[in-house]
Amino acid sequence: MVASFNTNLVTLNGFINTQEHKHPEATGNLSGLLRSVGLAAKIVNRELTMAGLAEDILGETGNTNVQGETVKKMDVFANEHFIAAFRRGRRCCGIVSEEQDDMVVIDEQGAQYLVCIDPLDGSSNIDVNIPVGTIFSIYKRISKDCSVTKEDFLQPGTKQVAAGYVIYSSSTMIVYTTGDGVNGFTLDPAIGEFCLSNPDMKMPDDGKIISCNLSYQSEFPAFVQKYVHYSFEHDKATKRPYNLRYVGSMVADIHRTLLKGGVFLYPPTTDSPKGKLRLLYECNPISFIIEQAGGASTNGKKRILEIEPNDFHERTPIYCGSKNMVMRMMDMQ
């Protein structure tokens, strides 16, 4: 008998090419930008897997970022390598990064795309080997015949042309959408390729997991406290009590929610009255993914994607996940 081999390997670059060919008007520039994400993700992944052993890459830089948060050395490493990859790829005209106070203007004639990015979200968890992630959002510029402007970055999330995350965990994956569903690719380190492992990802309409930092429970809005209480009541018919799962690394919590269903909540707290998570490079890209996978994502009043941003680093409350669970929570307002 002739041995059969799995030859239908779909790599990230192959998938990007296939998606491009579905759109005759495509110029290939978005494809090039997505390939830059894949390259930078492999570079960051390599450094992270050695972080425990490499000289002087763990720990803190002694600096704080625009958020006033302690900057980890891996934050700086990831930020620099993603920005360098976008510059080398020559398809990007500007970047807003969690690690940069102001936007990075790239003088690339003809480049039509801009990127909002959290280069290494959850990096405070690196030293204890908890999964971390990169979150990215891609827009087309609206300004013309000039350098990229602040207004180019302050478009609502509905204008995103692509968004995704990299999760650096027991395996490293890229999950992204260009508005035509969500697909997940797992890095095969033996061949150095991200390979299609989770085609057409769909979030369950219901779930039994609530993901939230309950340390702040007493500070939550009344409807959220009511929902948390509802989650822990005993009722077999509605699969309650729900399980509480909270990693404290957004990409890890969102990835589990995408695969298993559930809700992820970061409500306003006393310390973060507008919520802790950032709109441009955390909540918008994650919300695009979640909606494309059939879930819901709101700030309690409107879809996250419909928020008109005013500032690069503005924050928002976020209630997202399985649509039936999010809707039930909103009905408690």
The answer to whether 124 contacts ligand P6P (rule: CB under 6 A) is: yes
Q: Name the minimum Å distance from CB 200 to ligand P6P.
A: 26
Cβ-based nearer residue to ligand P6P, 69 or 80? 69
Q: How far apart are the first and last CA of the chain?
A: 64
Using the contact rule CB under 6 A, the part of the chain among 19-27, 116-124, 172-180, 283-291 near ligand P6P is 116-124
Count, residues near ligand P6P per rule CB under 6 A: 9
Which of 13, 112, 213, 225 binds ligand P6P (CB under 6 A)? It is 213
Q: Among residues 214, 237, 236, which one has the least CA distance to residue 224?
A: 214
Using the contact rule CB under 6 A, the part of the chain among 16-24, 118-126, 284-292, 317-325 near ligand P6P is 118-126
The answer to whether 276 contacts ligand P6P (rule: CB under 6 A) is: yes
Cβ-based nearer residue to ligand P6P, 276 or 323? 276
Question: Phi and psi (nearest 5°) for 234?
Answer: -95, 115
Helix axes 250-260, 284-292, angle to 10 degrees: 10
The answer to whether 250 contacts ligand P6P (rule: CB under 6 A) is: yes
DSSP string, 303-314: BGGG----STT-
Other residues' Cβ atoms within 10 Å of the Cβ of residue 250: 25
Cβ-based nearer residue to ligand P6P, 121 or 291? 121
Question: Phi and psi (nearest 5°) for 236?
Answer: -60, -35
Strand runs (DSSP E) across 248-292, as ranges? Answer: 263-266
Cβ-based nearer residue to ligand P6P, 122 or 321? 122
Cβ-based nearer residue to ligand P6P, 122 or 207? 122
Coil, strand, or helix at residue 58?
Answer: coil
Which of 75, 121, 152, 291 binds ligand P6P (CB under 6 A)? It is 121
Q: Name the minimum Å distance from CB 297 to ligand P6P.
A: 14
Q: Are 210 and 231 within 8 A, CB to CB? A: yes
Which of 179, 192, 248, 273 binds ligand P6P (CB under 6 A)? It is 248
Which of 89, 94, 119, 122 binds ligand P6P (CB under 6 A)? It is 122
The answer to whether 164 contacts ligand P6P (rule: CB under 6 A) is: no
Question: Phi and psi (nearest 5°) for 288?
Answer: -65, -45
The answer to whether 249 contacts ligand P6P (rule: CB under 6 A) is: yes
Q: Name the minimum Å distance from CB 326 to ligand P6P.
A: 17
The CA distance from 268 to 271, in Å, is 8
Using the contact rule CB under 6 A, the part of the chain among 109-117, 156-164, 174-182, 242-250 near ligand P6P is 242-250
The CA distance from 243 to 222, in Å, is 21
The CA distance from 248 to 3, in Å, is 46
The answer to whether 192 contacts ligand P6P (rule: CB under 6 A) is: no
The CA distance from 240 to 254, in Å, is 21
Binding site for ligand P6P (CB under 6 A): 121-122, 124, 213, 248-250, 253, 276
